[in-house]
Amino acid sequence: MNLKEVSELRRRWRPEKNAVSRIYGCLVNANKEIVADLDESLGIMSQEETEKYLGFLKKALSGTLGKNLIDIIFSTQQVMDSEEHRLLMELRSSQLKDGPVRQAFYQKVIESLDMGGSYLLLLAHDTYDVPHRDRDGEEREDASEEVFSYVLCCVCPLKLSKPELNYYPGDNEFHCAVSQTVAPPELGFLFPAFDDRTANIYNALFYSRKPDELHQEFIDAVFHTEPPMSAAEQKETFQSVLSETLEDAFNVEVAQAVHEQLTDRITQHRESKNPEPLALTAREVGIILQDCGVVQERVDSFQARCDEQFGAGAALSPANLIDAGRFELKTAQAKVSVTPENSYLVETRVIDGKKYILVPAEEAVEVNGLAVRFAAE
């Protein structure tokens, strides 16, 4: 799915836009026991309650593609005949109205997921009359081409509030009390995916609030697929491959060039407003390394290791490989941080046998917020 397709579905999760009639789910305690079963009609809820439930579910369609939102890909064999895919299809085809199917899904989640406390599991089904889109991008509501039927799921932890002094009118007394509040979801998913504005039963879209914590146990139990690398794992792996394969050729200048080139691509992609996720291959990074003067043998080694770690010809997201918002050099004693667009100012030199990091200081210099002057030469 691309950004436009995700945004198109997100816009539906307002009370007046969607075709959701009921909210299903269960409350699970720290002992992995269902303590409450949820089967509520939106029609009898207050406006505030409806907006809260839909807001939690909408959150499962938020974040950055490739970081918070991860493509889950089923194999052909899974789609043809597998318990996990069959269960998801039954949830969808029954529009969540089949109680035993819902319970089977609840148990699959409960047995695998460890949230460290109580949580609320929410499910909703929506049917979307996908409007026809003209060549100029204009949508025609009266010319729907198909109905997209899908399930949206999210898992919301329960948070204990601090003890607060509350007034109880019936007793005309004040007492300290602790309440349990439903927090925004930690994870969730959409099934099937909405690719090219149509249903793709070979894919699901998984959501994780924290890109570094993908809850791989949930992915394995519900989708039974190889968990994808988290954004943090991709960054760590990329940095390790660069450092280990380039060895002494991986100097500050090479690091600057790689960071600058990837940052430029991220900026250009953002300004172009292209809805498709930005991606590049190890071969493209190899070209950057060649332009920096890295010998072909080291470049080939880098590309081969990338193929081993990420998969042959894998498309990598630059935003997952670098921190585009900063450029930092660090030693055991000091840290130098500059804005990425000024990283070219940083130099390294060896003076009298000692290594130095140099930054020109042509303009005003401050130390702890105080303007200082250089001693006269």
**What's the pLDDT band for 136 if we cut at 50, 70, 90?**
low
Could you report the per-residue pLDDT of 120-132, keeping only the tens digit for each?
999 999 999 988 7
C-alpha 101/C-alpha 129 separation (Å) is 26
220: which 2 tokens?
Answer: 């394995």
Q: Where residue 139 falls among pLDDT bands split at 50, 70, 90?
A: low
Does 355 score more than 80 pLDDT? yes
- Looking at residue 317, its pLDDT comes to 86
Q: Does pLDDT of 99 surpass 80? A: yes
Q: Tell me the HSE value of 99 on the side-chain side, using a 13 A CA sphere.
A: 3
Q: pTM for the full model?
A: 0.81
pLDDT higher than 90, residue 110: yes
Q: Is residue 234 over pLDDT 70?
A: yes
pLDDT at residue number 94: 96
149-193 pLDDT tens trace: 999 999 999 987 777 777 778 788 777 777 788 999 999 999 999
In whole angstroms, give the CA distance from residue 206 to residue 70: 5
Rounded Cα distance between 353 and 187, Å, is 53
CA-to-CA distance for 233 and 63, rounded, in angstroms? Answer: 18
Q: What is the pLDDT of residues 319-334, one digit of tens each?
A: 888 888 888 888 888 8
Q: What count of other Cβ atoms lies within 10 Å of the Cβ of residue 197?
A: 18
pLDDT attached to residue 22:
94
